[in-house]
Amino acid sequence: PPLTTHPWGYRRKARLGVKYVYKKEKVLVGFRERSAPYLAELEQCEVLHPDAGMRLTSFSKLICSLTCYDKIAQIEVAIADDVSAFVFRNLVELTEEDKEKLINYAKEESIAIYLQPKGPDTVTPLYPENPRLQYSLPDYNVTLDFQPTDFTQVNQDINPKMVKLALELLNLEKNDHVLELFCGLGNFTLPMARHAKQITGVEGDAELIARANKNAELNDISNTDLHVANLMEDVSDCSWLRKEYDKLLLDPPRSGAKEILPYLAKLNIKQIVYVSCNPSTLARDAGTLVNEMGYTLVKAGIMDMFPHTAHVESIALFIKK
């Protein structure tokens, strides 16, 4: 059966559009209409975590009160276990008065507000000075720190169930050496490390690898070996590709794992668990694993990570014949 959870108020990561509409003399905060440049006028959103979804109207009033009311382009939402973070994309430098209004709002509402004047690397906390964003995976005694613009799973009710299912399918043993590709900040890595001899994790984003290493340290986990590598390009010179592995966990982006699969053929790994957010690229890559690399598809399932959308998360287990 598919993994499911409560379908409302689940979304902890989102990007809200912000636009000042001169005709209405009003700031709209919400989502863009499908196939149109317009923002839908929303008062609340039932799909977002309530700390974000019930805040749209008050954000509209807050931004309207700023001198730069027409220079806030979007708000990035990141809901952690203990604090909700909101990144305001400001197209101009904020006045001290505007900063003070945002700080007061953050204090009154017990939230964290960040500013982002340019690209993602310019995100800095406005209030509090050093917010700590975390989510936990209690089954594995693991807590992960993250930044508001990091990739994390949008549905933190499904995520622990997904991690548990992936580990059950891998059937980890204490002497297993596991290769994990697209490991991110350690969502699967650290739980696996509690059950296997060593986890070698590879990820293209150096910031996420730094975060994963820090998370391993914070959780007193010392059997991870993490590497930065672009898995969409030539990795033939990478040292991690010259080791032996018992099992593999793949969790690629929507584009799938097409580019890395040829490099895995030589490793002769007996068991692969593939987690996918795009069924069409999973189907394509499954064809390669089964028809060209000698694997058998043993189990497959879906997880309703994104209720009320057409998107679905999939998981599949492949065994070497």
Q: Is the dihedral of CA 271, 275, 279, 281 positive or negative?
A: negative
User: End-to-end CA distance of the chain, in Å?
Assistant: 26
> DSSP code of 11?
B
Q: Where are the beta strands (DSSP E) in the chain?
A: 13-21, 26-30, 72-79, 84-90, 112-115, 124-127, 133-137, 142-146, 177-181, 198-203, 224-228, 247-250, 271-276, 295-303, 313-320
What does the alpha-carbon distance between residue 181 and residue 144 come to, in Å, rounded to a whole number? 18
Q: Which of 45, 64, 183, 277 is catalytic?
A: 277
Amino acid 277 reads: C
Q: Residue 30: phi, psi to the nearest 5?
A: 170, -150
Neighbours of 311 (CB within 10 A): 14
Is 238 designated active site? no
Provide Rg for the chain, Cα atoms: 21
> Is the CB of residue 76 less than 8 Å from the CB of residue 87?
yes
Q: Residue 159: phi, psi to the nearest 5?
A: -50, -50
Tokens of 129: 């000075």
Q: Which residues contact 267 (CB under 8 A, 6 or more apart)?
A: 179, 241, 244, 245, 248
* Residues involved in catalysis: 277
